[in-house]
Chain A
Amino acid sequence: MGNIVVSPHDKEGQHHMMATPTSNNPNGGSAATAKNKSEITVLLLGAGESGKSTLFKQVQFFHGVGITHDQERIELIEIVRLNVLENAKNLVAATQHLNIPIEQPENRETAKLIINSLNTNDLEDPSWSKRLYSLWKDAGIQKAYENREKFQLYDSTEYLFENLDRICSDKYVPTVVDVIRTRTKTIGITDMKFDVGDGKQLRLVDVGGQRNERRKWIHFFNTVDAVVFLTSLSEFDLNLYEDNGYWRVKESLRVFNEVVNNALFYKVPFVLLFNKRDLFEKKIATKSFSKYFSGFNEAEEKNPVACIEYMTKLFLNEITEHPLDTVSVKTLSAIDHDNSKQVFEEVKQFIMTQQHRE
């Protein structure tokens, strides 16, 4: 690893780099044994709300495990309803925060109840379906929703409110799509193993993406055979969940830089996935993309391909250490089952071929 240059003030870094050549040999050795290893560990990394868990759930689904089974999804009723409540609460709180009045008096009543006493069990009552839907359609709430970049709101909001009549029923069993669309902030690290044929097992590791969660990633960095880094295309107008004054794209770039240039991953196939393409295309139709990137040609801002190309450049510029031929870039819409299946197959192929090359 002779090409590594360390910033001169980083004494510890120098110390470490001196130790690197030796440290890489056993690392390479483990990569070589990976060929014979029956288990491939793939890390899903990325900043918060980049879609790691969504992809994780999709992979579960098309491998026929986990949420594929009804009885597993029944356990998640709470989670879906909690999501509805969280979204409703956030919207109502936003109307207060943004000084947008809720117009209909009965919706104001509903809003009060939501803030103060509503719990997930109440949602079994179908009457809540109408009340919540009416609240959702209220002009004030809709206005707040249009300004959702100013506060924290899950991407699932619209979908869940449109499906209230199913959710608010005592017979409700979440569909696979419901579970995939539901936003749950992953806490800690979780993993799952899938059979991928050839007697090989794929071990997919899903992690939390917020700042404090990222400190836990290190525990898995040693045993990695491939890294899939996700970033959200549609986050260009959003700030962080854990720090409202910090731009998400900047955070994603920072995290990407730290991960891709990590010495432990030099020999590891690396996939960069631009997620939420669907949302992104909708978003740039109404929002100015170039407003957020001064280096971007304004004339092209309604062209998703050009925008994605620009984003790709931004991210690839961050790569200073990792060999570029083991980096693959793809776009993804993780909530779309077919798309994520196809992309994941491609990713798997890429990882396998990279491993054979070793």
Chain B
Amino acid sequence: MALEYEESKQKIIEALQKKSKSKSKFYFSDLAKILDAKPREAKKIVTQMVQEGILEFWSSGSTSMYGLKGTGKQAGAEHEDG
């Protein structure tokens, strides 16, 4: 069953906002868990959210994470906040 986009988007935004006090970056598997979806289904949602500028990537070079665009302390630390 395909996931409904708007509903899934809200689920992710809410879940990420709830945790935003302690951390802003999440593994892909965390997002799939929020959606309770298979990875390939979750990826479609996440990709669209990136395209819409809601989510952004963070990469350690070896590993990638996702976060709500502009949130978290990395942007300041990396001087990419303005």
- A and B part of one assembly: no
